[in-house]
Each structure stands twice: as C-alpha cells, then as structure tokens.
Amino acid sequence: MLEIAVGIILGCCALGAGAAMIAGIGPGIGEGNAVAKACEAIGRQPESKGDVTSTMLMGCAIAETTGLYALVIAILLLFVAPGRFIDILISTIG
C-alpha cells in the first residue's frame, strides 16, 4: 500500500512540474515579438543598433520573469516537494 502511495506522490509531482512549464509558452511568444520588433527597428535605423539591442535585452529579461516563476515552481516540485510529501505521509501513518 505504501509503495502505491509513494508512487502516486512521485507521479503527481512530475505531472505538476510538466503542467507548470506550460507557462513557458507566454514568454516565448513575447520575446519573439520583442526581437522581431527590434530587428525591424535596426533595419529602419541601423545607427541605433547598440541602444536597441540593450533595450531589447532588458525587455526580454523582464518578459522572461513569468516563465522563470514557472520554472522555479517546477524545480521545487521535482527536487524538493517529493521528499517533503513522503515525510508527511510517513509521519501521518506513524
């Protein structure tokens, strides 16, 4: 019985981590848009390449934040949560 419970915990943690990383779609689309617009801007004004590139990198970093929140949650679910849940399970069984 305990094996099944532990298996369910591990499997659900992995599923949750996978589901959390769906959030990676958003930053991907956003950063793609940002880089496309930056390319357009450089094409229009090649002399402002440095400014546009640094601003684009800043914007990409900020747009990445939501994806990184999801990544942190996924990493917590993969590496931290199973041990903690199994500890709780064992302490409740006694």
Partner 1 sequence: MNKMSRRFKIIDILLIILMVLPLLSCIVLKVVTTPLKEGIVISGAAIFFTIKMPFQDWPVTESQINSLAVMLSILFLCLYLTHGIKDGVWLKRHHFAEIIVEMCKKLVSGNMGDYFISFAPFIAAIIGLSAFSSLVTLCGLYPPTSDLNVVAGWAILVFILITYYKMKCGPVEYVKSFANPVLMAPLNVISEIATPISMAFRHYGNVLSGSVISVLVASALGGLSKMVFGFLPGFLGDIPFLQAGLPAILSIYFDIFSGCLQAYIFAMLTMMYVSGGFPYELYMQRKKQKNCDI
65 sits near partner 1 (criterion: CB under 8 A): yes
25 sits near partner 1 (criterion: CB under 8 A): no
* For helices 2-20 and 65-75, angle between their N-to-C axes, nearest 10 degrees: 170
Nearer to partner 1, 8 or 51 (CB): 51
Contacts to partner 1 from residues 72-91, by CB under 8 A: 72, 75, 79
Determine the residue type at 75: I
Nearer to partner 1, 2 or 18 (CB): 18
31 within 8 A of 64, measured Cβ to Cβ: yes
